Amino acid sequence: MIVRSLKIRNFRNYENAEICLNPGLNVITGHNAQGKTNLLESLVYLSLTRSHRISDDRKLIHEGSDFADIRCEYEDDRIQTIRAIIHPKGKTLMVRGQPVRKSSEFIGLLNVVLFAPDDLRIFNDQPRERRRVMNQEITKVSGKYLLALNHYQNLLKERNILLKSANTDMRYLDILDEQMAREEYRIVFERNKFIRQIQSIMPALYRDISSDDITVNVRYRCCVEDPENVSEDKLLEMHRQNREKDLENRMTSAGIHREDILFELEGKNLITLASQGQKRMTMLAFKMALLRYIQNETGKRPVLLLDDVLSELDLTRQKKLLDMVKAPYQCIITSTELPEYLNRNEIAEYFVGEGTVTPVSGGM
Ligand SMILES: Nc1ncnc2c1ncn2[C@@H]1O[C@H](COP(=O)(O)OP(=O)(O)OP(=O)(O)O)[C@@H](O)[C@H]1O
Ligand SMILES: [Mg+2]
């Protein structure tokens, strides 16, 4: 898919800005703190209905304004317009001018994959953050996954309340376990499919980007031993086996809420082994694998957003990365300077300063 234009009002440091984008490589340049990341963030918001930087939407509204408004026209099979209006008390999501009631009907329309320097944090973060990344990516390709996840989370809350109650109703616990196992089956199935696809391409992508002859990959730490052969019965069995422990500890010890996705270098945890550069390239390989996963599952190419990533790579790897992505994907890159090796005839350049965006060359 191709983002053709983006209009933002009262979003972050922008009062009113509009940008028409090129189908290929778009480079947004500007000094620090001028609004480069904010521009990408507005596209992320349309993709996920949340920011990648903060969870409190109110901070996205331009200081002193009542609401923020992000509109985008993109093209996949046809031209679509989507819009998010962010109020202090919530948001309104619109497709072709009509409000949609559920986020699950909106997420997955415009798919972007963002790589920002801060992403490296997830190697060291708690499993919850890595699960969040996995959930976010699968949600882009499956609305049913999001529904299963939300339902599971409600059931889990209920189960934990029940375990904490003075007289646990065992029949109700049976019912909850059965319902949870049903949702977990769908979730494990989708997570396993996700990880299997990433695993099959990530090592080669890493070698391509890095020219490093080592193997990096991801591993699924699933709540059942063999995710390939998961069934509702096996998940139910897991909850039954843990029941005594759960009653004693008054919380649900096993389930998809405890799973993790591990990043490994030569089969070992990457955190202590990899250099900073290797971590960066691992994350890049992961993001490239995400592009392919989304494309496989939806039949549409997502848009790649690279926030301030080039300056952190050496020149050879910068060029390698751009060669790998610029033909198949629409790419929006931010950088304080326009890299000299780029052919100005092949790109569109925009300059961002104090909340305004100005096309410099190639922009439409
Ligand atoms: N709600 C808001 N209202 C007004 N201005 C805001 C709001 N939120 C953030 N800003 C401003 O946006 C600017 C930061 O924008 P952004 O993060 O996009 O910068 P950048 O161009 O990516 O910079 P860098 O090169 O340092 O990454 C800051 O000046 C900040 O004060
Ligand atoms: Mg920035």
DSSP letters for 310-346: GGGS-HHHHHHHHHHHHTTS-EEEEESS--TTS-TTS
Chain segment 244-265, per-residue pLDDT in tens: 999 999 999 999 999 999 999 9
Residue 40 CA: nearest ligand 1 atom is 18
The atom of ligand 1 lying closest to the CA of 13 is 5
The alpha carbon of 236 and the centre of ligand 1 are apart by a number of angstroms equal to 48
3-state secondary structure of 242: coil
Predicted confidence at residue 324, as pLDDT, reads 86
Give residue 330's pLDDT.
96
CA distance 246 to 254: 9
Buried b (16+ CB within 10 A) or exposed e, 87-121: eeeebebeeeeeeeeebbebbbbbbbbbbbeebbe
Q: How confident is the model at residue 13 (pLDDT cuts 50, 70, 90)?
A: very high
Number of Cβ atoms within 10 Å of the Cβ of 262: 17
272-287 confidence digits (pLDDT tens): 999 999 999 999 999 9
* Residue 41 Cα: closest atom of ligand 1: 18
Domains and their CATH numbers in the chain? 1-111+303-364 (3.40.50.300), 119-299 (1.20.1050.90)
Predicted structure pTM score: 0.95
| Token pair recorded at residue 303 | 């848009």
3-class SS at 24?
coil
For position 355, what pLDDT does the model report? Answer: 87
218, 262 in Cβ contact below 8 A? yes
Specify the residue with its C-alpha closest to ligand 1, atom 16. Answer: 35
Model pLDDT, residue 323: 87
> What's the mean pLDDT in 158-171?
94
Residue 102 predicted with pLDDT over 80:
yes
Q: What is the mean pLDDT of the chain?
A: 95
Instruction: Report residues near ion ligand 2: CB below 5 Å.
Output: 36-37
What per-residue string of b and e applies to 23-39 under the rule 16 or more CB within 10 Å gives b? ebbbbbbbeeebbbbbb
Cα 37 to ligand 2 centre (Å): 4
Assess whether pLDDT exceeds 90 at residue 69: yes
**Strand, helix or coil at 179?**
helix
User: Quick one: pLDDT band at residue 363, thresholds 50, 70, 90?
Assistant: low
